[in-house]
């Protein structure tokens, strides 16, 4: 007789399944494990192979998002160590996350400035194509209005 869904044990995933679900390679998953980035040691099945739990997948998802947003591995490791220690260090965890949040906000501002410039260029090329005029980046073309350099150091000329 099978158990009701709530009473069943959590799903366990092979390293290949985790790689497919997360987009990380087997090598990267082993690297994360060696670097101490996982919250708990990965369990092993009766055959000795890694058996990732649902909570491992949830933690990996967090690590992937932190890493893809630019958090250094050392900071992810520090955050992981703090969580692993349990209650009592929430302020330190908050400090790690706030510092990263500030870096991400700054990156987003820089990317926004880049997007603004790219959008301007797209409009110039669309206008040029619609009017059948010369390449807006060509020296023979009349120059678009210049703006001062942005925070990223790029002027808006071709």
pLDDT in tens, 33-59: 999 999 999 999 999 999 999 999 999
Q: Does domain 10-86 have CATH number 2.40.10.10?
A: no
Q: What pLDDT, on a 0 to 100 scale, did the predictor assign at position 10? A: 67
Domain ranges of the chain: 10-86, 104-158
Contacts of 117-121 with C-beta under 8 Å, sequence gap 24+, read 117/150, 117/152, 117/154, 117/156, 120/156, 121/156, 121/158
pLDDT digits (tens, 9 = 90+) for 93-110: 999 999 999 999 999 999
Structure-block tokens of residue 119: 């959008």
Alpha helices in the chain (DSSP H): 15-22, 26-34, 54-68, 73-85, 90-131
Predicted structure pTM score: 0.74
DSSP output for 81-99: HHHHH-TT-HHHHHHHHHH
- Residue 137 banded pLDDT, cuts 50, 70, 90: confident
At 123, list the tokens: 């409009």
pLDDT in tens, 20-34: 999 999 999 999 999
């Amino acid at each position: 007789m099978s158990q009701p869904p709530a009473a069943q044990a959590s799903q366990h995933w092979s390293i290949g399944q985790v790689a497919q679900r997360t987009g990380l390679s087997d090598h990267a998953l082993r690297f994360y494990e060696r670097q101490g980035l996982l919250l708990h040691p990965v369990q092993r099945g009766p055959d000795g192979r890694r058996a990732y739990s649902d909570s491992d997948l949830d933690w990996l998802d967090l690590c992937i998002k932190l890493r893809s947003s630019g958090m250094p591995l050392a900071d992810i490791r520090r955050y992981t160590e703090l969580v692993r220690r349990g209650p009592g260090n929430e302020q330190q965890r908050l400090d790690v996350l706030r510092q990263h949040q500030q870096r991400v906000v700054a990156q987003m501002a820089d990317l926004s400035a880049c997007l603004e410039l790219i959008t301007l260029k797209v409009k110039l090329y669309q206008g040029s194509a619609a009017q059948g005029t010369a390449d807006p980046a060509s020296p023979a073309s009349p120059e678009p209005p210049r703006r001062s350099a942005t925070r990223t150091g790029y002027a808006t000329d071709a």
